[in-house]
C-alpha cells in the first residue's frame, strides 16, 4: 500500500470542491489523460468517472467508481483498468485550521496484477506518482482558496 500526506493552505471545503468536480480529475491524477464522461451525481456512492490513461497512441480506458463518500472529509474510489485489474484509492481530508487541510492519499491493488505486487514494492512504485498527484490536487485547492480570498 502507498500512503502519502500533504498539508495545503486551503480550507477543507476548497479541496473537496476539486475532488467533487470529476472533470478536474485529469488535472491532478498523474497518468489520467482524458475525461470521457462523468456521472451527473459524482461523487455520490456508486457513481462513475470515465477517463483514459496513458499517452497517445498507448491509451487505455479506465473507469473509477466511488465506493464510499463522506463530504467533505473522505472519498474512497476503485479505479479499474481492464485487463490489468483495479486499485482502491482513498482520500482523507482533515481540517487542521480554518485555512489549512491535511490530505492523505492511500492506494493499493485490489485485483489483477496490482494485487500480486508485494506491499513494499507497491509503495515504492506508487509513492512518487501519488506524491505528484497530491501536489497537483493541493495546488488546485490552494488556487481555488486564493480566488475566493481565503
We report the CATH number of the domain holding residue 49 as 3.30.530.20
Confidence (pLDDT) at 6: 97
The fraction of the chain above a pLDDT of 90, given in percent, is 69
Q: How far is CA 128 from the centre of its chain?
A: 14
- Range(s) of the domain holding residue 103: 2-147
The phi, psi pair for 30, rounded to 5°, reads -65, 130
pLDDT band at 50 (very low <50, low <70, confident <90, very high): very high
Instruction: Specify whether the CB–CB gap between 65 and 51 falls below 8 A.
Output: no
pTM (two decimals): 0.91
Distance from C-alpha of 43 to C-alpha of 97, rounded to nearest angstrom: 25
Distance from C-alpha of 105 to C-alpha of 145, rounded to nearest angstrom: 20
pLDDT band at 111 (very low <50, low <70, confident <90, very high): confident
Distance from C-alpha of 107 to C-alpha of 104, rounded to nearest angstrom: 10
Provide the domain count of the chain: 1
Q: Is the pLDDT of residue 145 over 70?
A: yes
Instruction: Specify whether the CB–CB gap between 135 and 27 falls below 8 A.
Output: no
Task: Please give the DSSP secondary-structure letter assigned to residue 14.
Answer: H
Q: Please, is 145 exposed, middle or buried when counting C-beta atoms within 10 Å of its C-beta (0-12, 13-18, 19+)?
A: buried
More confident residue, 144 or 125: 144
Q: Is the pLDDT of residue 53 over 70?
A: yes
List the grid coordinates of 119.
506491499
Amino acid at each position: 500500500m502507498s500512503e502519502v500526506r500533504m498539508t495545503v493552505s486551503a480550507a477543507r471545503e476548497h479541496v473537496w470542491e476539486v475532488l467533487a468536480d470529476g472533470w478536474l480529475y485529469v488535472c491532478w491524477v498523474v497518468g489520467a489523460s482524458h475525461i470521457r464522461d462523468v456521472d451527473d451525481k459524482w461523487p455520490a456512492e456508486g457513481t462513475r468517472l470515465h477517463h483514459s490513461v496513458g499517452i497517445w497512441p498507448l491509451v487505455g480506458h479506465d473507469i473509477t467508481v466511488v465506493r464510499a463518500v463522506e463530504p467533505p472529509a473522505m472519498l474512497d474510489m476503485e479505479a479499474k483498468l481492464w485487463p490489468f485489474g483495479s486499485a482502491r484509492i482513498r482520500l482523507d481530508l482533515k481540517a487542521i485550521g480554518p485555512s489549512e487541510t491535511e490530505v492523505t492519499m492511500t492506494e493499493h491493488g485490489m485485483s489483477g496484477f496490482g494485487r500480486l505486487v508485494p506491499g513494499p514494492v507497491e509503495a515504492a512504485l506508487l509513492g512518487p506518482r501519488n506524491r505528484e498527484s497530491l501536489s497537483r490536487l493541493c495546488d488546485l485547492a490552494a488556487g481555488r482558496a486564493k480566488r475566493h480570498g481565503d
